[in-house]
Amino acid sequence: MIGFSIRHPLLLMILKRVILSFGLLVMLSLIIFCGIELLPGDFASTYLGQSATPQAIMNIRTELGLDRPLLGRYFSWLGGLLHGDLGMSWANRNSVSEQIAFRLGNSLFLALCAAVIAVPLAVTLGLIAVRYRDRFPDKLINIASLAAISLPEFFVGYLLILYFAVQFGIATFPATVYEGMSLSERLTAVALPVATLVMVVLAHMIRMTRAAILSVMSSAYIETAELKGLSSLRIIARHAAPNAVSPIITVVALNMAYLIVGVVVVEVVFVYPGMGQYMVDAVTVRDMPVVQACGLIFAAIYIFLNLVADILSILANPRLRYPR
C-alpha cells in the first residue's frame, strides 16, 4: 500500500496528460475539418475543368456528399476515424488509409535517419560548447549553428542537390524509394534529404542543449562542486547534464516532431514520396479527404511526441511530480 500511495500521484498526472492530449486531438480534428472546408476552391470544378456545366458540378458534389450539412459530414468522418477509416480519395477513389500507409512509413524512415544522426551529435556538440565556454570551440559552434538556423530548408536542399547530385554526382536525385528496396539502397536514396533535415534541426538542438546546461551551471551546488576542486568535465557530466535532462528531452521531442511534421518542404524539394509530398499533391487537386487525413496524422504525431516528452520530463525531474 505504501508503494501504491507513492506512485499514485505520478500515475494521476500521466493520466491527466493523456486525457488532455486526447481532448486536444479531438478539438484539432474539428478545426482541421472545418478549416479545410472553408478554404477557397472546389474539387468538383477542379476535377471537371473550366468547361464543366453547373449540373455536372452539382452531380459530383451530390455523389461525394458535399451537399450535406458541415457538422453531419464531420461526425461521419469522425466515426470513420474511430474505426480506422480515413475515407476515400476523391481524385482516384482509393482508400486514403492504404495510400497513407506506405507514405507515412517513408516519412517516418526519413525522420528516424535524421534523428539518429542529429540527436547524439547535437547533445555532444552542446556539451563541448559548454566545456569550452566563451573559447574558440564554443564560438565556432555558435557561429555555425546560427548560420544553419538562418538558412531555410529549401535553400539548403537546393545547394545539396547542386553540388552533390549535379556537379559531383555522388548522390541520387530525386530521392525515389519503393517497396522491395534494400536498406542500403534506401539509405543511399535518402542521403540528401536526411542531410538537409540534420542541418536544419541540429543547430537548434545544439543551442538549446547549451542553454539548458548553462542554466544548471549557475546553480549553487555546481559552485560547491567547483570549490571541491572537481574538474569542469566531471562537473558537466556528473552534475549538470543529469539535471538538464528534462529541458533537453523537451527540445529533442519538439525537433523530432518537426522532423516528421515539418518535412513537407524537404519532401517537395527532393520529390520524396512521403506524407508531405502526398499532402501537397492533394491540395493541388483539392482532394480534401487526403488533406484532412494528413493534417490529422501530423497533429496526432506532434501531440504524441509532446506527451512522451512531458511524461519523460516528469520521470526525469522529481520536482515536477510534486507541484506546489
The verdict on domain 90-321 having CATH code 1.10.3720.10 is yes
Model confidence at 219: pLDDT above 80: no
Each residue's pLDDT tens digit, 72-125: 888 888 888 888 778 788 777 778 888 888 888 888 888 888 888 988 888 888
Each residue's pLDDT tens digit, 257-293: 888 777 788 888 888 888 888 888 888 777 888 888 8
User: How far apart are the C-alpha atoms of 310 and 324, rounded to whole Å?
Assistant: 18
**Pick from 87, 97, 41, 34: nearest CA to 64:** 87
Find which of 6-20, 139-153, 215-229 is predicted with most confidence, using mean pLDDT. Answer: 139-153
3-state secondary structure at position 1: coil
| Higher pLDDT, residue 178 or 92 | 92
Peptide bond into 174 cis (omega under 30): yes
Which residues are 88's β-sheet partners? 95
Model confidence at 3: pLDDT above 60: no
Q: What pLDDT is attached to residue 2?
A: 44
User: How far apart are the C-alpha atoms of 272 and 249, rounded to whole Å?
Assistant: 29
Helices (H) and strands (E) in the chain, counts: 16, 0
Per cent of the chain over pLDDT 90 is 1
User: How far apart are the C-alpha atoms of 82 and 65, rounded to whole Å?
Assistant: 20
CA 297 to each of CA 132, 178, 268, 301: distance values in angstroms, whole numbers, following the listed order: 42, 22, 18, 6
Model confidence at 131: pLDDT above 50: yes
Least confident stretch, 3-12, 46-55, 243-252: 3-12
CA atoms lying within 13 Å on the CB side of residue 293: 28
Q: pLDDT band for 6, please (50, 70, 90 cuts).
A: very low
Q: What pLDDT is attached to residue 62?
A: 78
Model confidence at 4: pLDDT above 50: no
CB atoms within 10 A of CB 66: 18
**Pick from 192, 189, 239: nearest CA to 213:** 239
Peptide bond into 120 cis (omega under 30): no
C-alpha cell recorded at residue 125: 556538440
Q: What pLDDT is attached to residue 5?
A: 47
Q: What pLDDT is attached to residue 323?
A: 53
3-state secondary structure at position 84: coil
| Higher pLDDT, residue 239 or 188 | 188
Looking at residue 62, its amino acid is T
| Higher pLDDT, residue 132 or 232 | 132
Q: What pLDDT is attached to residue 34?
A: 83
